[in-house]
Amino acid sequence: MFQAIPYEGDRGYQFSAVLDQLKSLIHDEPSSIANLANASSLLNLFMKDTNWVGFYLFDGKELVLGPFQGLPACIRIPLGRGVCGTAAIERRTLLIDDVHAFPGHIACDEASNSEIVVPIMKDGELYGVLDIDSPLKNRFDDEERQFLEQFVEILSAHL
């Protein structure tokens, strides 16, 4: 059974605690949807000042909405379009301080001002992306980027 714990201590300790919780949640669970749902819930619980945490999954042509926490979202995103589509086609994490300055930004929630998107790779192929939005500008930093890339790496082994 999952128990919410207060995330105390320095950021490194907090990140480590979340990674341990992720491992515990997805250990021996074969359902990708269940693992993605629990992962989005865990990050939503942990990541403060965010308004959307979730996944878009690659269906071979485009990104399709997967498990998430937040307001209803855009359902399909073409590769190369918006922050999610760009991160997916470039296969690299994008940390955007001001989404309104990003060319082709797709506004699913007008309250979003910054965003981080981490591609999910499985066996060398694009599986999807982790997308996190915040109503604050400049919300995400490089330390969180590294943490979220580790989070996705652990998760991808269970998809």
CB distance 158 to 26 below 8 Å = yes
Q: Does domain 11-156 match CATH 3.30.450.40?
A: yes
CB distance 136 to 7 below 8 Å = no
Where along the chain do its domains lie?
11-156
Alpha carbon distance 90, 79 (integer Å):
9
Report pLDDT digits (tens) over 68-109: 999 999 999 999 999 999 999 999 999 999 999 998 888 777
| Helical (H) or strand (E) element with 39 | helix 32-46
Q: What is the pLDDT of residue 50?
A: 97
For residue 127, count CB atoms less than 10 angstroms from its CB and return exposed for 0-12, middle for 13-18, buried for 19 or more.
buried
For tokens 């955007």, what's the residue?
96
Q: Which of 70, 24, 72, 78 lies closest to 47 in space, CA to CA?
A: 70
Report pLDDT digits (tens) over 18-41: 999 999 999 999 999 999 999 999
Query: Sheet harboring 52-58: ordered strands across?
Result: 76-78, 62-70, 52-58, 125-134, 114-122, 94-96
Q: What is the pLDDT of residue 1?
A: 62
pTM: 0.95
